[in-house]
Amino acid sequence: MTRREETNISFAKRFFKSQSVTFPFIDYLKEPVVILKRDGHILEANNAFLKFSGVKKKDIIGKDSQDIMPLKVLSENIVKCKFDRLEKSEQITFGNHILNATITPVIVNEDLNFISIIFRDSSAFVQLERALLKRNKELGIINTLSGAFISSGNIDSVFTDLLERALIVSDFGIGWIVMKEDGKFALRSVSGASLELRHELEKGELNTLYNDVVELTDPMYVLESGETERIEILKKEGIVFFACIPLRVGAETTGILMLASRVEIKFDFDTAALFSLIGNNISLISEKIKLFQETQRLALTDGLTGLYNVRFFYDMLNKEIARSRRYNTLFSLILFDIDDFKIINDTQGHQAGDEALRSVASILSTVSRETDIVVRYGGEEFILMLPNTPKTEAFTLANRIREKVEEHSYLEKETVKITMSGGVATFPEDAEDSKSLLYAADMAMYEAKARGKKQIYSYRRVRETGIQEA
């Protein structure tokens, strides 16, 4: 309240207390004012009140205040003011206005003479307060969602944490997140759904719907009660409200957040704004996750071939040895070296040599198994780690890879061929630790080189420390 408003209201209160019957200056007051008799009937009202309430003076003077709006809303406090002889305040809504009403008993010679009611429009202040509360809520949601990324020690669990927080702030019971990966939708997290629904989602039963949502330019796709029955798996789950919120980075849709409820939800502007806020923030966080994963990938892969680098290999090798010891399992290494690679560099140029390395790396990745770890070991050397693979199987795979490499024509020239030599070693059969295992694979590979190249040898630990072909 401004100083001027306080002065006006203070003047009005003093003025009313000084008057006994007539109110000649009431219309000079800017605030809407009504004077009531002790019985609650209207004695006087100023022009500000008449204009504000949209009534004529002749239609309200002498009428019971309980029959006139907005006085009717104040009936309870008017009665309390009369009997308690204490000033009362109440906030009411009238039309598009939010009003603070001050109800004051005017006592003359210890008798209640009349009751004054002064209205102050506080719409602007209330709207500001609501805007601040809304903004605080939005900041709270942003902080809650951002915390999933900041506090997570495992980047793979971020989507699970994000979804749980999204369900909390939206007060929904069911949700899941799908992300576009290599042109397909991958289910990254699901919460609150039955096992049957989880299985259906993992099978991609809603992929057609996801594609339709991606094609839309709308900020969200909502199905309310009755509409969800058109989708069988939602109907079986008892879902009566379903929202798809595209996760967009720029013009690209990178994923979709689904929120669902088994109880009816009123979809209004506030709900839509909440969905938009959650979707925008998950979009930003998912982009950060993508950048983080790309940074991780670059740190762990070879820049030329895209295969894993030596740093990653050594880390995985130590982990695989620890796992092998703990569970009494075995694994094998295959170390390849391209034969006479220097000739390609000298005759075709180093750029051609790089292209040949990329081609070999592609063959290694294609022919090897999904569980195998394929690494560029350095220069023209490559190494494969094969979990749970005995030496005979590793030897067979090594020869299959060698044959594929030899069959291929490089640099788009039929005359450019590549051969490889390789060595196979198995833990714990051939070594007790990582260093001796790498030594064993290296020795087997050099034996293959010494015996004419373009062949595979397996390491055999014998008393004479000899190397024998498998």
CATH number of the domain encompassing residue 394: 3.30.70.270
Residue 389 lies in a domain: yes
Give the pLDDT confidence score for residue 463 in this predicted structure. Answer: 35
pTM of the model: 0.51
Strand partners, 382: 336, 376
In the set 200, 380, 407, 469, the catalytic residue is 380
Cis peptide before 32 (omega within 30 of 0): no
Residue 468 lies in a domain: no
Helices (H), 157-231: 158-170, 195-202, 207-215
Residue 465 pLDDT exceeds 50? no
Residue 304 lies in a domain: no
How far apart CA 321 and CA 202 sit, in angstroms, is 33
Most confident residue range from 24-33, 181-190, 272-281, 396-405:
396-405
**Residues 6 or more apart in contact with residue 10 via CB below 8 angstroms:** none
Is the same domain home to 352 and 388?
Answer: yes
Give the pLDDT confidence score for residue 30 in this predicted structure. Answer: 84
Query: pLDDT > 90: what percent of the chain?
Result: 41
Is the same domain home to 264 and 334?
Answer: no
Domain boundary among 97, 121, 145: 121
Mean pLDDT across 207-218: 87
Tens of pLDDT, residue by residue over 268-284, are: 888 888 888 888 888 88
pLDDT level of residue 333 (50, 70, 90 thresholds):
very high
Is the same domain home to 208 and 324?
Answer: no
Give the pLDDT confidence score for residue 170 in this predicted structure. Answer: 85
Residue 261 lies in a domain: yes
Give the pLDDT confidence score for residue 10 in this predicted structure. Answer: 54
Is the same domain home to 265 and 316?
Answer: no
Tens of pLDDT, residue by residue over 144-154, are: 666 655 555 55
Is the same domain home to 146 and 260?
Answer: yes
Strand partners, 89: 102
Give the pLDDT confidence score for residue 40 in this predicted structure. Answer: 86
Is the same domain home to 245 and 98?
Answer: no
Query: pLDDT > 70: what percent of the chain?
Result: 86
Is 90 one of the annotated active-site residues of the chain?
no
Residue 285 pLDDT exceeds 90? no
Residue 117 lies in a domain: yes
Mean pLDDT across 242-257: 88
Is the same domain home to 116 and 139?
Answer: no
CATH number at residue 287: 3.30.450.40
Q: Over the chain, what is the mean pLDDT?
A: 85
Is the same domain home to 285 and 268?
Answer: yes
Mean pLDDT across 248-267: 88
Tens of pLDDT, residue by residue over 168-211, are: 888 899 999 999 888 889 999 999 999 999 999 999 999 999 99
Residue 141 lies in a domain: yes
How far apart CA 340 and CA 449 sit, in angstroms, is 10
The 3-state DSSP class for residue 8 equals: helix
Mean pLDDT across 306-327: 94
pLDDT level of residue 266 (50, 70, 90 thresholds):
confident
pLDDT level of residue 84 (50, 70, 90 thresholds):
confident
Is the same domain home to 322 and 270?
Answer: no
Give the pLDDT confidence score for residue 138 in this predicted structure. Answer: 62
Give the pLDDT confidence score for residue 110 in this predicted structure. Answer: 75
Is the same domain home to 356 and 394?
Answer: yes
Mean pLDDT across 333-359: 93
Give the pLDDT confidence score for residue 363 in this predicted structure. Answer: 95
Answer with the residue of higher pLDDT: 205 or 112. 205
The CB density around residue 311, as the number of other CB atoms within 10 Å, is: 13
CATH number at residue 115: 3.30.450.20
pLDDT level of residue 288 (50, 70, 90 thresholds):
confident
* Torsion angle defined by CA atoms of residues 222, 225, 230 and 233, in that order, rounded to the nearest 10 degrees: 90
Domain boundary among 267, 299, 331: 299
Mean pLDDT across 98-120: 84
Is the same domain home to 25 and 61?
Answer: yes
Domain boundary among 121, 148, 167: 121
The answer to whether 134 and 122 have CB atoms below 8 angstroms apart is no
What total of structural domains would you count in the chain?
3
Residue 255 lies in a domain: yes
Structure tokens at 191: 């919460």
The 3-state DSSP class for residue 105 equals: strand
Residue 61 lies in a domain: yes
Give the pLDDT confidence score for residue 14 in this predicted structure. Answer: 53
The answer to whether 384 and 368 have CB atoms below 8 angstroms apart is yes
Is the same domain home to 314 and 219?
Answer: no
Order of all β-strands in the sheet with 184-191: 184-191, 174-181, 252-261, 241-249, 221-223
Expressed as residue numbers, the domain containing 170 is 128-299
Answer with the residue of higher pLDDT: 52 or 324. 324
Answer with the residue of higher pLDDT: 294 or 187. 187
